[in-house]
Amino acid sequence: MQNLINLNSEWVLWTTGVLLLLLLAGCVFLAWWAMFSDRARGRRRCPRCWYDLAYTPGMTCNECGYTGRSEKDFARTRHRWGIALLAVLGAALVGGYIIDRANMKGWMTYVPQTALIWLMPLEGDRGPIISELRTRMNADTLSEDQWLTILRRAAKGDPGRRPPGDGWTDKYGTLLQACASRFLDGDDEEVQAEVTEILLRLPPRVALTTRRSWPSDIAPTLNVVARDWWPGQMQWRIRAEPQLEGAETDVHVLRDAPIQRRSYSVYLPQLPEGDHDIPVRLVVDRRPTPEDEWERIDERTIEVPLEVEGTLAEHMEAVGGEEMDEVIRRVFGSGLIKSARGSLPVRVGLNIRHAAIAPFDDTAVGVRIDVLRDGELGRQLDIWWEAGTFGRGTSWEVPWLDDEVLGRPMQEGEQWTLRVRGRPELALRVDGATRYWSGEVTVGVPVRRRGGAPPPPG
């Protein structure tokens, strides 16, 4: 019923708009007719009463007595000034009203929804068509068929933007996600099946990134950046196999939500100085549930250009001291959250805003955190970010965990501590920074308990 009301409202809006445009065109035509339609065209007429003088000799009108000074006086165009003035006034009022309404709402608000959908491929991701379409989607003024049409067109892309490229993701990704969520959360099983089939046909986006230059005394790291648009908790894995002697294969299993970016690491052996093109074979599989067999989705080899030169000291300066160490203690001092059950039940709390201060400007913080339960190692967390007043958000990995240590029931008097150690190989993952924190601190932290299983680790 809501969609019917919205649809009717759109037709009312457009009927009113068409009538206003017709009225404006009528006023313009009437003004032209009043001023220019009645030309002499060789006829001889009185310019006062417009009596036909074709058969009247002389310069005087027999009808009204007007006497002309030359023959040109009898060949004038007839102007209906009153009608022309009223028509111009009407056109000004109607045109002013249309312009005022368009300026209030924007010209794109008067484009029909169907026209907006079909015009989507004609502009970039920042244009007025996509912006207006997103506004109407947020206001829920589209019919169900229009939502489904947007999803189909978004999944197809356009000639300059095909899935799963960055251009396609930037333009169509959020539209696709909004449409998919609407239908997958609904009750129409037939539409759900069609939407699921459309989403499963979309290939995932997998890319390898790294910093431009690495020191020769640190083993380089590649980041595997992955996105998918599949429904539900579709599980997928990426096998990254660097084609280098001594390199290990890394396998990452993902349960990411659509359009979310996550970073996973591939560790390379230490490389000699010089320019390198690192071939990495990527194999992508997926399965609906952990009980299903893996299905091969993609297999290809990507070459990653990488430069190795100089030493760590030439790339980044090690910094530390008691003042910076105290800031790091505050970053990780908020404590731990321990869930009652599930894998990785203990999560580390942090607040990087403590390090958003001038002494940390141009400084990368890359640390390994050991979670100790009465001195026994329960898990590790690698985390890195650009600190300082213009810092950026964090990236992280869990290199090791022991659910048996973490999952034991809490006991009175037990001590939980965090051992935080600066690691340059993690700090090097932050592009642009010229310094890194190289200290080590130990922080005694409180533990907050919560029932149930912890949220997925990402």
| Amino acid 13: pLDDT | 60
Query: Residue 371 pLDDT more than 60?
Result: yes
Distance CA 105, CA 99 (A): 10
The two three-digit tokens of residue 206, written as one number: 């997998």
Question: How many other CB atoms sit within 10 Å of the CB of residue 152?
Answer: 15
Paired residues of 42 in beta bridges: none
Pick the range with the lowest mean pLDDT from 37-41, 77-81, 97-101, 270-274: 97-101
pLDDT per residue as tens digits for the range 336-357: 999 988 888 999 999 999 999 9
The two three-digit tokens of residue 358, written as one number: 């001038």
70, exposed or middle or buried, with CB in 10 Å at 0-12, 13-18, 19+?
A: exposed
Question: How many other CB atoms sit within 10 Å of the CB of residue 2?
Answer: 9
Residue 5: closest CA among 123, 133, 141:
141
Question: How many other CB atoms sit within 10 Å of the CB of residue 337?
Answer: 16
pLDDT per residue as tens digits for the range 380-431: 999 999 999 988 888 888 888 899 999 999 988 899 999 999 999 999 999 8
**19: enclosing H helix or E strand:** helix 2-36
Helix (H, G, I), strand (E, B) or coil at 210: coil
Pick the range with the lowest mean pLDDT from 44-48, 231-235, 306-310: 231-235
Distance CA 255, CA 165 (A): 20
Distance CA 383, CA 349 (A): 12
**397: enclosing H helix or E strand:** strand 395-401
